[in-house]
Amino acid sequence: MSEAFQYPQQGIRLTVDAVVFGYHSDRLQVLLIRRKYAPFEGQWALPGGFVAEPESLEQAVERELSEETGLKINYLEQLFSFGEPRRDPRFRVVSIAYMAIIRSDNMPLQASTDATDAQWFDTQELPPLAFDHAQILEKAITRLRSKLRYQPIGFDLLPEKFLFSDLERLYSTILDQPLDRRNFRKKILSFGILEELSTKVSDGRGRPASLYRFDLDRYQALQHENFYFEIP
């Protein structure tokens, strides 16, 4: 350790950060806020802030997300801890990052407290991020892609009723790679967790196609039978 670097007398500070993914118009998005104060004043960052003395980590991240973006999210998954000594130029800060996925269409945002703005950004077209938030986001995207292959979380990002082609595009977008559409369809349908509806609609490219719905009850029942969801 360099002799020029000194730990602050007040000790290590604890913060939380929220990586909130959304999906809209076949694009994977992430929620960012514009910082009101230094350091990195005016720069885009993940929502988050310091943990207050009486708060749990979950209470802190829910509060910060609500204050800075206006969103209230019922479930956030703990992602990772980030504690490089110089990640915050003010003093030593350890951050516990959380992750959530939601449908971002028609989701009103309201920046307040430490944020002057809150917006959804395409993960392929991001502005420069404050602190080490680019590293946090990269970690979250890796986790999201992994979960998408082994848990049916993709259905949380689609409307209740959807075309199978919508599901294909979601997987291709988030995994950032083309799919073998025939094998993907065969694999998904083999799980028996999709209900094909009688309603048919046109996607503008051919004959009308069936709408589907994710059967949550069926999926939960299968979990008690050693069911294994996996998309290669």
| pLDDT band, residue 104 (cuts 50/70/90) | confident
Note the pLDDT of residue 203.
65
* pTM, entire model: 0.90
Mean pLDDT, residues 164-188 = 96
Overall number of domains in the chain: 2
- CATH number of the domain bearing residue 98: 3.90.79.10
Q: Cβ of 176: how many Cβ atoms within 10 Å?
A: 11
Are the C-beta atoms of 65 and 147 separated by less than 8 Å? no
* The residue to which tokens 């449908």 are assigned: 103
Q: Which residues pair with 213 in a beta bridge?
A: 195
Looking at the structure, tell me whether residues 116 and 104 fall in a common domain: yes
| pLDDT band, residue 223 (cuts 50/70/90) | confident
Q: Residue 1: inside a domain, yes or no?
A: no
Looking at the structure, tell me whether residues 120 and 184 fall in a common domain: no
Q: Residue 6: inside a domain, yes or no?
A: no
Looking at the structure, tell me whether residues 24 and 91 fall in a common domain: yes
Looking at the structure, tell me whether residues 24 and 63 fall in a common domain: yes
Note the pLDDT of residue 171.
97
Query: What are the tens digits of pLDDT across the range 32-53?
Result: 999 999 999 999 999 999 999 9
Query: What are the tens digits of pLDDT across the range 121-162?
Result: 999 999 999 999 999 999 999 999 999 999 999 999 999 999
Domain span at residue 213 reads 152-223
